[in-house]
Structure 1
């Protein structure tokens, strides 16, 4: 069973495997051509990985200076075709140039890291990074923790305005059917305190009926972020 789109939260992936068995293959990639695959066995041995590059590709992770980073160090994820194949965006040479780094490697703007065996882990999208008081918070990491809290059916984490820090971590949480709102908030707070550094913990948790997703299930964080920055919270059922 193939699944992808975004890295699957570890707690959800474990429940899937317990329910259906080791039948899953997770993929990560983008239409420009980069792609990884991770079998269930790969994932169980390395929880959180999205796998290794396909045989004809290479993954490189670069810092802000365009230099390769050591294993287990976050940076911008690039793919490179080993045969030198390149792509271009139709009618947009500037976008094409911006996508390419050194040696024909290209990126779609994902942040992540490689382990010592070349398995890729995705931290989040560069465009989604929350920057507060000079430190970066990746929404996917926070979402994975909250998703495992009791009574949580769905979650989206975005950056909201903060007059002192610039941005603050805001979590939109969909309670599971029958869950009590106060209990869900307490579970989210407890999970965050146990598993996240202080600066990564949500400063605000909003309970809502749903979070926006496209027809394929991909989370549309931009809509929530824009609503926060516009001062609109009418989509929320309740909050704290």
Structure 2
């Protein structure tokens, strides 16, 4: 990815991880800046979710370099088993949207959204109210996840991902579990809200035609079945 004049928040160099079946996932050198909107594309099973796992600090790469905000050496924290530090960085600087919303079933919608703030001892009621109105979920805050629609649950996941003003939002197939008629609405709200916050967005999808309509830059996974490697060049 070419160097930009905007603030770099994430730098990585040749990170890789071997996962199930002996397949190795590799991500080449990348500089990710505020405002970037990146689409990682590829067929199901190629390792896109593993890539997001490494980028979200949830999965330890086997090798490589990752620096957050110029100076935080992520691989060094993994080597020193600083899992609490990694968890705090995830909560403070990252927002994550899983494929199926991933809401906690026994919490209300409001409690699900505010949970990341509780993890870092932060409160921002004005931002919370803005998000729930912007995403049109303000009328379901007292409901449990099973009491709302799939599309509403995905909107809740977007609000939860943005509640701590993250620098980086990671979205793993955010419309995979919804009907195509709902997919455009969710993508539109996600992209517009991301643009308003100025965060970087890294999304995975195999529905590239739909997703690229919203101004993302596509980076396809390159599969090398002979050597059992999936490579991504950012």
**TM-score class, shorter:** under 0.3
Going by fraction, where is helix more abundant, 1 or 2?
2
> TM-score, normalization: structure 1?
0.27
TM-score (structure 2 length as normaliser):
0.27
